[in-house]
Structure 1
Amino acid sequence: MGHLDHAALGWLTPVLSYVMACIGAALGLRCTVRALGATGRSRRNWLITAASAIGTGIWTMHFVAMLGFSVSGTDIRYDVPLTIVSLLVAMAVVCGGVFAVGYSRDRARALFLGGLTTGLGVASMHYLGMAAVRLHGDVTYDPVLVGLSVLIAIVAATAALWAALNIKSPVAVTIASLIMGAAVSSMHYTGMFAVSVDVTPAGAVLPGATAMQFIFPLAVGLGSYLFLTSAFVALSPTTGERAASASAQEPVESVTG
């Protein structure tokens, strides 16, 4: 059995991956709240931004955490096409979940569908990302822990979407995103503890790219995307703020009279 290390770089990767998950969640929830206050094309664009933010956050979290993953006795490589597919799946499935919430008439059903879809998106992204791992040996999973990780993902996504729909204050959104970040991270590490690797040492060169060649630059790029989008969203006024500034510019008599 190969000894698995989930934090080969110390506390850096778990902390950084948690931060990425939180930023993605915060941005996604903020955009979902914005979408619900908008209509037409504006609503659709906010929802797409929300989905891309959550999807990117989840994906970056997973692979930043994977930078700290090592197995004694073997190198680790990543299958490039499959890794990119995992990113697209994360975005597409989260998109479905977010749109279910954004356009549904029935709140409870929207939450159930949105949470289920988004949670399954997180889980499928995780296991696709794991399927992209190449090493010398056989990877096996503990089915109970895999099931638990999927359940955590669904519950977390539902809770976060509920928060997005019911809570508007910045403090509450921050708390919701910290919880969602924690949930995504715990789903990840639960899924990782389900893994065991039977190493068969071999001299052959593994196919795929090393984490530093491929994962690291991509994570930096996507991380930058999240930060830039966060700044843009934070600076653009909400519908309510626009209305408030418009009414503030009206003469006082019309308000009192």
Structure 2
Amino acid sequence: MEPLLGQLLQPKYSFVLIFLSYIISFFGSLLALQCTKWMFRKDGTLDREVAICAAIALGGIGIWSMHFIGMQAYRLPVPITYDLVLTVISLIAAIVISGIALYMTGRGGKFKVRGWLAGSLLAGLGVCVMHYMGMYAMDLSAVMTLNPVTVGLSVVIAIVAAAAALWLAFNLTKLSHHIIAALVMGLAVCSMHYVGMSAASMICVAEKSSTAWKISGDDLGLWVFGVASIALLYIFWVVMGRNIANPALQSSA
């Protein structure tokens, strides 16, 4: 049944994609935590290759891929496409901001409270910008309004989650601890996303906006999950394989 003009659209969710969004966030967070052990060499200098891998694992996979798969889990009774430019910008922003936040927190190979606080604020606000940019990238026959209270709650969750993630990244070293931390981080990232999604109300309108570059498809979420999984395996091979073979590269922190 086609929705009526002016009707409030009621969203439905794909629980399979919600589950996959958590899984990819968990593994992205876990690999990022592992990467932080080798981000800084024993002399405190930055290993750029590992830092880039950590930023991609956390920002591109643990956060952005979770976000995009979660967006695909959000179903409305009208077709949805996505502005390609905004989508790509949100991906780049998530990676860059995550990389900067990780660097600020562990600069010189040592955890710094000031850097941690600044990095947490930057990362939290950056995640929110990425999230709502992704929401505004939706191209559909509806007008979106946001509940400011719920938006504010999502911002608080994002900052707290970022602070927890950065603290865990540089204060826990055992794999078992990293697994538990990644489980918590994945839950926090997903919580921020779905709270943010609940802030939106969609009102049906006659026409949807037109964008020259857009992406669509019912299987986009699965494609993103697949590509993100391949990227995770590649990062694992590059970083973990190299450092297991060369333990002298590890930071003494």
Name the TM-score, length of structure 2 as normaliser. Answer: 0.85
Instruction: Please state if 1:25 is matched with 2:29.
Output: yes
For the structure 1 residues 205 and 113, does the alpha-carbon distance in structure 2 shift closer, same or farther, using more than 3 Å as the test?
Answer: closer
Instruction: Please state if 1:3 is matched with 2:10.
Output: yes
Amino acid at match of 1:184: V
Which one is further off, 222-231 or 188-197?
Answer: 222-231
For the structure 1 residues 212 and 224, does the alpha-carbon distance in structure 2 shift closer, same or farther, using more than 3 Å as the test?
Answer: farther
Q: Post-superposition shift, 1:98?
A: 1.1
Amino acid at match of 1:120: L
Report the counterpart of residue 190 of structure 2 in structure 1. Answer: 185
**Residues 124-163 of structure 1 correspond to what in structure 2 (within 5 A)?**
124-163=129-168
CA–CA separation in structure 2 for the residues paired with 1:184 and 1:63? 12
Question: Do the aligned residues in 2 keep the contact of 1:34 with 1:238 (CA within 8 Å)?
Answer: no
Identical residues among aligned pairs (%): 34
Question: Do the aligned residues in 2 keep the contact of 1:135 with 1:206 (CA within 8 Å)?
Answer: no
Instruction: In structure 2, list runs of 5 or more residues that go unmatched.
Output: 1-7
**Residues 229-240 of structure 1 correspond to what in structure 2 (within 5 A)?**
229-237=235-243
Q: Post-superposition shift, 1:152?
A: 0.7
Q: Post-superposition shift, 1:15?
A: 0.7
CA–CA separation in structure 2 for the residues paired with 1:243 and 1:127? 39
Instruction: Please state if 1:221 is matched with 2:227.
Output: yes
RMSD of equivalent CA atoms: 2.5
In the alignment of these two chains, the number of paired residues is 239
CA–CA separation in structure 2 for the residues paired with 1:32 and 1:218? 24
Question: Do the aligned residues in 2 keep the contact of 1:136 with 1:200 (CA within 8 Å)?
Answer: yes
Amino acid at match of 2:55: A
Which one is further off, 212-221 or 164-173?
Answer: 212-221
Report the counterpart of residue 92 of structure 2 in structure 1. Answer: 88
Amino acid at match of 1:153: A
For residues 180-233 of structure 1, what are the alpha-carbon distances to aligned partners after superposition, in whole Å with 9 as ceiling and x for unaligned?
Answer: 11100000000000011011245x796432144766544432331122212443
CA–CA separation in structure 2 for the residues paired with 1:39 and 1:14? 42
Question: Do the aligned residues in 1 keep the contact of 2:111 with 2:170 (CA within 8 Å)?
Answer: no
Amino acid at match of 1:63: F
For the structure 1 residues 53 and 119, does the alpha-carbon distance in structure 2 shift closer, same or farther, using more than 3 Å as the test?
Answer: same
Report the counterpart of residue 16 of structure 1 in structure 2. Answer: 20
SS at match of 1:75: coil
SS at match of 2:201: strand
Q: Post-superposition shift, 1:61?
A: 0.5
CA–CA separation in structure 2 for the residues paired with 1:214 and 1:68? 10
Amino acid at match of 1:101: T
Instruction: Please state if 1:56 is matched with 2:60.
Output: yes
Q: Post-superposition shift, 1:129?
A: 0.7
Question: Do the aligned residues in 2 keep the contact of 1:55 with 1:91 (CA within 8 Å)?
Answer: yes
Report the counterpart of residue 5 of structure 2 in structure 1. Answer: none
Instruction: Please state if 1:112 is matched with 2:112.
Output: no
Q: Post-superposition shift, 1:147?
A: 1.1
For residues 225-245 of structure 1, what are the alpha-carbon distances to aligned partners after superposition, in whole Å with 9 as ceiling and x for unaligned?
Answer: 12221244333335994499x
Instruction: Please state if 1:194 is matched with 2:205.
Output: no
Structure number, greater radius of gyration: 1
Name the TM-score, length of structure 1 as normaliser. Answer: 0.84
Question: Do the aligned residues in 2 keep the contact of 1:97 with 1:118 (CA within 8 Å)?
Answer: yes
Among candidates 31, 43, 65, match of residue 47 of structure 2? 43
Q: Which has the higher contact order (CA 8 A, sep 6+)?
A: 2
Q: Post-superposition shift, 1:119?
A: 1.5
Report the counterpart of residue 248 of structure 1 in structure 2. Answer: none
